[in-house]
Structure 1
């Protein structure tokens, strides 16, 4: 698998390296806009690799990581294939001493969770924004990565049982920061950007 991405990072940099995965029907620029917003006013430029979904969406544009409505087994297989490619990419001296932070929205949030699960010692943190979580009932995550999980109170794209299960699974790690934003749907809001800024500053 060959991942498509946009990047902006200094190989000699000291700050965290963000590895970012967009939601269904979008592209790599979605996550760049989010991380740029987190850093507005800081005078710093974030170092990132932002990836495009491995499947192009027909007719309407954008991309996705796994087919909408596919079964749990297929979803996990697609995530595993991306994980192998990402882990191979990071097996380079350029990334050895960098903190590595996953950032994903919706499908990309679920993918980020699966990467932490598959490579529990590779990533220092994972920011999971409105992730899908179907099929993870009773799952266990054994990783020391710091986790940020967020949903909007009006998000009906991700079923409420899946949202609750995501929180239960991640809280069991002992290092989860959870936020719920009143009135927000399946989206990102200004208050969330502020909370992400605070979370990133503590890494």
Structure 2
């Protein structure tokens, strides 16, 4: 499964979507009421589910992304169908339905942070519901996050390291702030969780060597090296 995580991380880093002849799985939508909000998640099931427990990969979109776009463009759905795991595409929150969505990592970003949305407890509740609803191998729950979604992945690993087998993060950071003297850093987990990180050295949005983001969407945040 770690090999699959490397493939997934590489696909995200390349912005690549697979075109495959593999038999397609099916999508289901899970709806959870959390903190007064109705939140929906796309659950993609592989084409063949035998009498066995399956790995689960939760995939977090970047700032202003959404679950449907993530499912259809990141290439992970095709890998899930081929390798036989459940892929999950949660959505952040925003001022409008399925647009301008963000995750609250504790230091970034957008609507979710400004409105103190408790994404950590929501994702925990989502995972519990998925485990109760599908044939899940609880020892093989994985996280994948892009940009703002990667920040949430870091935070989830920090809060619930016992839940996750591994984590892949692309173009993200575990820390940030309004300037270099006001950095908020996500605490490291109290136990080891395998982590693979991909980051372009010329990334202007979350600079590899640290600095202010060039993206107005990130509100000029500073990210450390």
Residues in 1 aligned to 2:43 and 2:185: alpha-carbon distance in whole angstroms? 35
Shift of the 12–54 alpha-carbon distance from structure 1 to 2, 3 Å rule, reads farther
1:92-142 CA distance string (max 9 Å, x none):
273552410011111111111111111110111111111243144483222
Change (3 A) 1:156 1:11: farther
Deviates further, 143-152 or 25-34? 25-34
Residues of 1 paired with 2:167 and 2:95: CA distance?
25
SS of structure 2 residue aligned to 1:39: helix
Say yes or no: does 1:65 pair with 2:106.
no
Give the structure with higher Rg (CA).
2
Q: Which residue of 1 aligns with 2:89?
A: 50
Residue 63 (structure 2) pairs with residue 20 (structure 1): no
Per the alignment, in what secondary structure is the counterpart of residue 65 of structure 2?
coil
Q: TM-score, normalised by structure 2?
A: 0.57
**2:152 counterpart residue number:** 111
2:202 aligned partner? 154
Report if the CA contact (8 A) 1:116-1:143 is conserved: no
Ranges in structure 1 where 5+ consecutive residues have no aligned partner: 165-203
Q: Give 1 or 2: higher strand fraction.
A: 2
Cα distance change on mapping 1:122 and 1:75 into 2, 3 Å: farther
Specify whether residues 21 and 56 from structure 1 end up closer, same or farther in structure 2 by C-alpha distance, changes over 3 A only: farther
Partner of 2:42: 6
**C-alpha contact (below 8 Å) 2:77/2:87 kept by paired residues:** no
In structure 2, runs of 5+ residues without a counterpart are 1-33, 177-182, 211-222
Say which structure is richer in helix.
Answer: 1
For the Cα contact (< 8 Å) 2:164–2:193, is it kept in 1? yes
